[in-house]
Structure 1
Amino acid sequence: MFRRIRYTKRFQEILNVLFKNGFSHILFRVGLSGRRPVSGKQEVGDMNFQDIGKKLKNSMQELGPTFIKLGQIASSRRDMIPMEIISELEKLQDDVEAFSFDDAKDIIEEELDNSLDNLFLDFNEEPLATASIGQVYRAHLLSGEEVAIKVQRPEIEDKIETDLSIVRYIAQVLEERTKWAKNYHLCNMVDEFSESLQDELNYNAEGRNADRIRHQFKNNPDIYVPDIYWDFTTEKVLTMEYVKGIKINAIDQLAAEGYDLELVTDRVADAMMKQMLEHGFFHGDPHPGNIYIMPGNQITFIDFGMVGRLSQELRHNFASLIIYLNQGNTKGMIKTFTGMGMLSEEADHAALTRDLDRLQSQYYDIPLSEISLAEVMMKVFRIAYKHEIELPTDIAILGKVVLELEEVLGKLNPDFSIMSGVEPFGKKILRERYNPASLAKRGFEEIVENARILSDLPQQLKDVTSMIKRGKLRVDIHVSDLEVLLKRLDRISNRLSFSIILLSFSILMVGLIVGAAISGQTTMIWRLPVIEVGSVIATLMFILMIYTIIRNGRM
């Protein structure tokens, strides 16, 4: 009952703010509000994306922590949201009221099951920083270590849950009743943003992220990640080593104190490239407040609430896109998009080819060191948005990280190009992709997968036959999809045929080798040594399979 009342009250608050900021026309049109728009007032339907972005930013800022955080997360999705709106959402600030020390004290004592006096030698009641989800304090443990303690806002989880359910409902209504919301897959967008926000509510997960990235640099003293004190950490309280350093954007102070700005730039870039392209697990929010410079030009990263993940396949595809762009290979770029499953069958390939041709012509044969990676990625995102290419979330986070890095590091060293940092890692990824060991591993995985398909085939045929007998098999084929379906069936049949031949030949060869070993005689047919000839044929078949993998990325 109480939850329903709270939901209704908050729902009305959200509608009132949206109504006040010029969204009344669309709310009335889709049935979310019974109030008619005020005549003469500028409405969303009459505005361009820039104006809509400003109205949306003002609404989110007024609606508080959940919406501020959602807007900040949404600003990373340049492939899904118009750039004019993105530029406004990026201005959202954690301009929220601090909660009281008494509330923070109650949360800490409840979470750590002890009194503050028994937990800490001293505790500064003034927060170091206040954000939309939590607040940071400074203290000393009883053992003497100086720590920073992040405390989650009181009841923020319930408030965020209520807000997200309301936002999801509004998105669902809009998607059902407006074409633009359906085209932009608004519900999927909200679900994705909600998942990212809920991940940031778990401070245990943030602590594990920090440990994982610290492990990446365990043998590199130039990169530092503060320790997490797990005995003083829960889902709502995070206790970490306190960092004393200079923020990376305090350029005048760094220069005055004798820091090597060029070396700092190279170390930050190399550390981020290593996270992204070597380990595939990286800091997702490297803004200036999260990077500190310590004595000896040591780089310290903090705040791992947002992280990105790149699978080995995604890393290879990212490197391929950069190389294809530099080579002017539009077909290669489209092939990479298709291989990543980002290009729908309905996409206009001719129009996409034209846009990519125009893009690559701007960078063809230009040294990678002279190309702005952030600029390239923003242009790729615009093309993706235009052609409704669904980029993986982590590629979007990667784009946000690259943009932030180029902005921060460009101020430290105006001659720096992040491409010069990406190039060696990209080449290394491609070399690893096509070295004999990797090819052999993928070839073996293909054989195992095909063998699994073969073993499942009798049961699947039996199931289909049973369904046909019961009259429950439904076939629904649109003529527009027929060519695509036939191509897929042709590819499946080729894989099955190749697997059957290779498997049968392997069994035959094993039988001949075992027979020859038992009898102690050489197997000859028409004066030809069967085992030796068979080995050559098997080798050629294996080479053919490897060639197919290299050419298509799969069989």
Structure 2
Amino acid sequence: MIGHARNLARLLTIARVLARHDALFPLESIALLQPVVLAARAVSRRRVEGRPGQKLAAAFTELGPTFIKLGQALSIRADLLGEEVAADLAELQDALPPFPFAETRKAVETELGQPLETLFSAFDERPVAAASIAQVHFAVTTPDAEGRTREVAVKVLRPGVEEAFQRDVELIHWLARLAETAQPGTRRLRPVETARAFEDAVVMEMDLRFEAAAACEVAENFADDDTFRVPEIDWTRTGRRVMTLERVHGTPMSDRAGLAAAGHDPVDLVTRVSNAFFRMVFRDGFFHADLHPGNIFVADDGTIVAVDFGIMGRVDRQTRRHLGEMLLSFLTGNYRRAAEIHFEAGWVGPDQSVDAFTQACRSIAQPIFGRPLAEISIARLLGQLFHVTETFNMHTQPQLLMLQKSMLVTEGVGRTLAPDVNMWELARPLIESWMADNLGPQARIKDGLTVLGDSVDRLPRILASAESVLTKIQNKGVLLDADSAHALRGNRRSFMQVLPWILVLVLAVLLYFN
């Protein structure tokens, strides 16, 4: 009861802010919240110019860090708010006034356990960036054992941001549960699961060790790539609330004039960005989910340098295969196969019509692929697919929504630099190579053998667990006669006798295909 009262009080405060910005529409859709909406409108209603999404973005900015992050998360959920609102939320600026340098010093010294001057020989008190969760300062490290110093960037969490987030996320969970209870039709959109995913993502973003680890993982994935790199992390000056990394020297991708003055070929840069993004998604299954121009720099030698690994996405191997085959089917006009993949992946239920979904796929793809090559957008294709989810009772796939948003942002980078080219066409050799390696017959056999190998690896544990359960059942006197128990043990022995031959067969096939 206390929790409900606390959430209701916080909701009234939020509703008043939404009302001041004429942005109550997200709450108006929940019937149980109508009294809250009416009260907020009565005391704070204003007429504000602009689109609904712009009003909502302004309200979220006033509500602070948690709601700025929530707005960014909702910008990939056109299925919840509509395409126009989602697009406006995508423009939400994650920027707030900087907090005082005294707080920065306190955070660094408390987290790292040493005076600031012991860690850094120079530290710029003015932050170069101040966002909702953290701000960044440039600094120079104190000399190491060999007398060398390094230019670094130091990211520091905002004071009190964790407590503010915990208070607001409790309300978000409450609203998600309320929506599912009051409006069962929303369950298809998984509001409770979405709230949990949002909490998990921001909790990880507020522990800067996770961001540092993500940067290191991407750096390892691209260790042999001379076209893309990640700044090196200084782990001795990194903790939960402070992260120190190599300072990046280069031209921001957003600075077209600067890139041109430095002599960089825009088509070459777009190729490098698209190749890096494709490798992250399809080769590694671990991708930068916020690859906007402000997070990309171009070094003097043309190397792409990415920063800000707080928001990352993962796509498992099976989903990558489904996604790759689906895109290939769309590109070749095989809409029937594109529809079948949705059923095979479990994205559309078996009670739906494959023929009807094939028709929907054609209606989505043909207007997109009928455009000039430079205007073809794979991200727009995925976005249109998600728009038909309600018709076919298609369950929301959060990992694909994040991927679609990331592709849209990356395509925006390409269109900014080279509006007359299609970034996926530039990456076509890489895409075709990946598809040949991962979607061909030989790849299918290898995948099948991998699954079989994993199953074989698990069998001893499964059998041991089964025997343990059998023993417990017998000890507790459950009706299981001696003949049945003997047969179960006999089957186990028989299987273990055959198991070596299964392993030999698997090994022989693997050697043949390698």
Q: Do both proteins adopt the same fold according to a TM-score greater than 0.5, normalized to the shorter chain?
A: yes
- 1:30 maps to 32
Cα displacement string for residues 307-351 of structure 1 (whole angstroms, at most 9, x for unaligned residues): 122222122111111111123323312221122221134545554
CA distance in 1, matches of 2:320, 2:245: 31
The reply on whether 1:85 has 2:96 as its aligned counterpart is no
Which secondary structure does the structure 1 equivalent of 2:388 belong to?
A: helix
Aligned runs of 1:333-348 on 2, under 5 Å? Answer: 333-347=338-352
- 1:64 maps to 64
Per-residue deviation, 1:37: 4.9
Cα displacement string for residues 90-115 of structure 1 (whole angstroms, at most 9, x for unaligned residues): 12112422211111111111000111
CA distance in 1, matches of 2:30, 2:347: 35
RMSD, aligned α-carbons: 4.1
Does structure 2 retain, via aligned residues, the 8 Å contact 1:328–1:365?
Answer: no
Per-residue deviation, 1:84: 2.1
CA distance in 1, matches of 2:66, 2:322: 34
CA distance in 2, matches of 1:328, 1:356: 10
Alpha-carbon distance change, 386 to 103 in structure 1, aligned in 2, over 3 angstroms? farther
- Aligned letter for 1:232? R
- 1:157 maps to 162
Aligned runs of 1:358-373 on 2, under 5 Å? Answer: 358-362=363-367, 371-373=376-378
CA distance in 2, matches of 1:234, 1:39: 44
- 1:515 maps to none
Question: Which of the numbers 442, 448, 452 marks the counterpart of 1:442?
Answer: 448
The reply on whether 1:193 has 2:195 as its aligned counterpart is no
- 1:394 maps to 399
Judge which range, 19-28 or 204-213, deviates more. Answer: 19-28
Which secondary structure does the structure 1 equivalent of 2:106 belong to?
A: helix
Which secondary structure does the structure 2 equivalent of 1:328 belong to?
A: coil
Q: How many residues are treated as equivalent by the alignment?
A: 475
Which secondary structure does the structure 1 equivalent of 2:389 belong to?
A: helix
Alpha-carbon distance change, 507 to 379 in structure 1, aligned in 2, over 3 angstroms? same
Does structure 2 retain, via aligned residues, the 8 Å contact 1:224–1:299?
Answer: yes
Per-residue deviation, 1:268: 1.6
The reply on whether 1:207 has 2:212 as its aligned counterpart is yes
- 2:110 maps to 110
- Aligned letter for 1:72? Q
Per-residue deviation, 1:387: 3.4
CA distance in 2, matches of 1:382, 1:254: 37
The reply on whether 1:15 has 2:15 as its aligned counterpart is yes
The reply on whether 1:251 has 2:251 as its aligned counterpart is no
Aligned runs of 1:216-255 on 2, under 5 Å? Answer: 216-255=221-260
Cα displacement string for residues 381-422 of structure 1 (whole angstroms, at most 9, x for unaligned residues): 222355342353332222112211211112212232122245
Judge which range, 451-460 or 106-115, deviates more. Answer: 451-460
Q: Which runs of 5+ in 2 are unaligned?
A: 144-148, 480-490, 510-514
- 1:523 maps to none
Per-residue deviation, 1:445: 3.5
The reply on whether 1:411 has 2:416 as its aligned counterpart is yes
Aligned runs of 1:131-530 on 2, under 5 Å? Answer: 131-143=131-143, 144-178=149-183, 181-347=186-352, 349=354, 351-362=356-367, 371-384=376-389, 386-433=391-438, 434-436=440-442, 439-440=445-446, 442-443=448-449, 445-446=451-452, 449=455
Does structure 1 retain, via aligned residues, the 8 Å contact 2:190–2:396?
Answer: no
Give the % identical residues: 25
Judge which range, 5-14 or 273-282, deviates more. Answer: 5-14
Which secondary structure does the structure 2 equivalent of 1:62 belong to?
A: helix
Which secondary structure does the structure 2 equivalent of 1:70 belong to?
A: helix
Which secondary structure does the structure 1 equivalent of 2:416 belong to?
A: helix
- 2:487 maps to none
TM-score normalised over the length of structure 2: 0.80
CA distance in 2, matches of 1:395, 1:325: 17
Larger Rg: 1
Alpha-carbon distance change, 59 to 250 in structure 1, aligned in 2, over 3 angstroms? same
- Aligned letter for 2:103? D
